[in-house]
Amino acid sequence: MEGCLACDLVTGRVELPGGQILATEHWIVEHTIGPLSLGTLIVKPKRHVVHFWELDEPEATEIGPLLRRVSAILADLAQPEQVYVALWSHAGGVPVHIHFVVQPVTRTLMDSIGDYGPHLQVALFDAGVTPPRDEIERFAERARTAFGA
Ligand SMILES: [Zn+2]
Protein backbone atom coordinates (compact mmCIF):
# COMPACT_ATOMS: atom_id res chain seq x y z
CA MET A 1 0.00 0.00 0.00
CA GLU A 2 1.56 3.27 -1.13
CA GLY A 3 2.08 5.73 1.70
CA CYS A 4 2.56 2.93 4.23
CA LEU A 5 6.17 3.14 5.44
CA ALA A 6 6.47 -0.64 5.89
CA CYS A 7 5.21 -1.26 2.34
CA ASP A 8 7.26 1.62 0.88
CA LEU A 9 10.45 0.12 2.35
CA VAL A 10 9.66 -3.17 0.60
CA THR A 11 8.97 -1.62 -2.81
CA GLY A 12 11.93 0.76 -2.60
CA ARG A 13 9.80 3.92 -2.56
CA VAL A 14 11.65 4.60 0.70
CA GLU A 15 15.32 3.62 0.92
CA LEU A 16 16.18 0.84 3.38
CA PRO A 17 19.70 1.10 4.88
CA GLY A 18 21.28 -2.35 4.98
CA GLY A 19 18.73 -3.73 2.53
CA GLN A 20 16.38 -6.66 3.06
CA ILE A 21 17.87 -9.31 5.31
CA LEU A 22 15.47 -12.18 4.71
CA ALA A 23 12.22 -12.82 2.89
CA THR A 24 10.26 -15.95 3.73
CA GLU A 25 7.02 -16.99 2.07
CA HIS A 26 4.93 -14.48 4.04
CA TRP A 27 7.35 -12.36 6.11
CA ILE A 28 10.21 -9.92 5.67
CA VAL A 29 13.15 -9.27 8.00
CA GLU A 30 15.06 -5.99 7.87
CA HIS A 31 17.07 -3.74 10.19
CA THR A 32 15.00 -1.06 11.86
CA ILE A 33 15.20 2.46 10.46
CA GLY A 34 14.00 3.82 13.79
CA PRO A 35 16.11 5.22 16.65
CA LEU A 36 16.67 1.87 18.34
CA SER A 37 19.97 0.12 19.03
CA LEU A 38 22.17 -1.53 16.45
CA GLY A 39 20.99 -5.02 15.59
CA THR A 40 17.31 -4.32 16.20
CA LEU A 41 15.44 -6.17 13.46
CA ILE A 42 11.92 -5.76 12.13
CA VAL A 43 9.78 -8.74 11.17
CA LYS A 44 6.69 -7.77 9.18
CA PRO A 45 4.18 -9.49 6.91
CA LYS A 46 4.61 -9.00 3.16
CA ARG A 47 0.91 -8.25 2.99
CA HIS A 48 -0.38 -4.92 4.33
CA VAL A 49 -1.92 -6.11 7.60
CA VAL A 50 -2.66 -3.66 10.43
CA HIS A 51 -4.08 -5.97 13.09
CA PHE A 52 -2.42 -9.15 14.32
CA TRP A 53 -5.81 -10.87 14.35
CA GLU A 54 -6.12 -10.31 10.59
CA LEU A 55 -3.21 -12.61 9.71
CA ASP A 56 -4.32 -15.55 7.61
CA GLU A 57 -3.51 -19.15 8.58
CA PRO A 58 -0.28 -19.49 6.55
CA GLU A 59 1.05 -16.16 7.89
CA ALA A 60 0.18 -17.12 11.45
CA THR A 61 1.74 -20.57 11.08
CA GLU A 62 5.04 -19.11 9.90
CA ILE A 63 5.53 -16.34 12.46
CA GLY A 64 6.27 -18.33 15.63
CA PRO A 65 9.17 -20.34 14.22
CA LEU A 66 10.46 -17.27 12.36
CA LEU A 67 10.56 -15.10 15.50
CA ARG A 68 12.38 -17.89 17.30
CA ARG A 69 14.89 -18.12 14.43
CA VAL A 70 15.45 -14.34 14.33
CA SER A 71 15.89 -14.25 18.12
CA ALA A 72 18.39 -17.12 18.00
CA ILE A 73 20.43 -15.41 15.29
CA LEU A 74 20.48 -12.14 17.26
CA ALA A 75 21.52 -14.06 20.37
CA ASP A 76 24.42 -15.47 18.38
CA LEU A 77 25.43 -12.21 16.67
CA ALA A 78 25.04 -9.79 19.59
CA GLN A 79 25.54 -11.99 22.69
CA PRO A 80 22.73 -10.14 24.52
CA GLU A 81 21.33 -10.70 28.01
CA GLN A 82 17.87 -10.83 26.44
CA VAL A 83 16.21 -10.45 23.05
CA TYR A 84 13.05 -8.37 23.23
CA VAL A 85 10.20 -9.27 20.89
CA ALA A 86 7.63 -6.48 20.81
CA LEU A 87 4.79 -5.46 18.58
CA TRP A 88 3.18 -2.05 19.02
CA SER A 89 2.39 -0.89 15.45
CA HIS A 90 0.32 2.01 16.70
CA ALA A 91 1.90 5.13 15.19
CA GLY A 92 0.32 8.28 16.55
CA GLY A 93 -2.34 6.06 18.13
CA VAL A 94 -3.37 4.77 14.69
CA PRO A 95 -2.99 1.09 13.71
CA VAL A 96 -0.23 0.66 11.12
CA HIS A 97 1.31 -2.24 9.17
CA ILE A 98 2.22 -4.66 11.94
CA HIS A 99 5.92 -5.21 12.59
CA PHE A 100 7.65 -7.09 15.37
CA VAL A 101 10.62 -5.29 16.88
CA VAL A 102 13.23 -7.92 17.73
CA GLN A 103 15.93 -6.22 19.78
CA PRO A 104 19.09 -7.72 21.26
CA VAL A 105 19.70 -6.08 24.64
CA THR A 106 23.20 -6.29 26.07
CA ARG A 107 24.40 -5.29 29.54
CA THR A 108 26.35 -2.48 27.84
CA LEU A 109 23.16 -1.11 26.28
CA MET A 110 21.24 -1.32 29.56
CA ASP A 111 24.08 0.44 31.38
CA SER A 112 24.25 3.20 28.76
CA ILE A 113 20.49 3.84 29.01
CA GLY A 114 20.20 3.14 32.73
CA ASP A 115 17.04 1.12 32.24
CA TYR A 116 15.56 -1.98 30.61
CA GLY A 117 12.31 -3.33 29.18
CA PRO A 118 9.76 -0.88 27.73
CA HIS A 119 11.57 2.02 29.45
CA LEU A 120 14.72 1.20 27.50
CA GLN A 121 12.81 1.40 24.23
CA VAL A 122 11.10 4.65 25.25
CA ALA A 123 14.47 6.15 26.23
CA LEU A 124 15.93 5.19 22.85
CA PHE A 125 13.00 6.78 21.02
CA ASP A 126 13.27 9.90 23.19
CA ALA A 127 17.00 10.14 22.40
CA GLY A 128 16.15 9.79 18.71
CA VAL A 129 19.56 8.55 17.62
CA THR A 130 19.66 6.13 14.70
CA PRO A 131 22.76 3.88 14.53
CA PRO A 132 25.32 4.94 11.89
CA ARG A 133 24.44 3.72 8.42
CA ASP A 134 27.71 1.85 7.86
CA GLU A 135 27.21 -0.09 11.10
CA ILE A 136 23.65 -1.00 10.05
CA GLU A 137 24.95 -2.18 6.68
CA ARG A 138 27.64 -4.33 8.32
CA PHE A 139 25.17 -5.82 10.80
CA ALA A 140 22.62 -6.53 8.03
CA GLU A 141 25.32 -8.34 6.05
CA ARG A 142 26.29 -10.46 9.07
CA ALA A 143 22.60 -11.26 9.64
CA ARG A 144 22.09 -12.25 5.98
CA THR A 145 25.07 -14.59 6.27
CA ALA A 146 23.67 -16.07 9.50
CA PHE A 147 20.30 -16.69 7.83
CA GLY A 148 22.06 -18.22 4.85
CA ALA A 149 20.18 -15.71 2.71
ZN1 LIG B 1 1.80 -1.67 4.58
C-alpha of residue 56 to centroid of ligand 1, in Å: 15
Number of other residues whose CB lies within 10 A of the CB of residue 91: 10
Q: Domain map of the chain by residue range?
A: 5-147
In the 8-state DSSP scheme, what is residue 33? -
Cα–Cα distance for residue pair 36/124, rounded to 1 Å:
6
Task: State if pTM tops 0.95.
Answer: yes
Contacts 24+ apart (CB under 8 A), 116-119: 117/84, 118/86
Return the pLDDT at 149.
75
Distance 6 CA to ligand 1 centre (A): 5
* pLDDT of 43 over the 90 cut: yes
> What residue spans of the chain are helical by DSSP H?
5-11, 57-78, 107-113, 117-127, 133-147
Instruction: Give the tens place of pLDDT for each residue, 62-84.
Output: 999 999 999 999 999 999 999 99
d(CA 74, CA 68): 10
Q: What is the CATH number of domain 5-147?
A: 3.30.428.10
- Compute the distance from residue 96 Cα to the ligand 1 centre, in Å: 7
Mean pLDDT of 111-120: 96
Ligand 1 centre to CA of 46 (Å) is 8
Band the pLDDT of 42: cuts 50, 70, 90.
Answer: very high
Distance 55 CA to ligand 1 centre (A): 13
Distance 108 CA to ligand 1 centre (A): 34
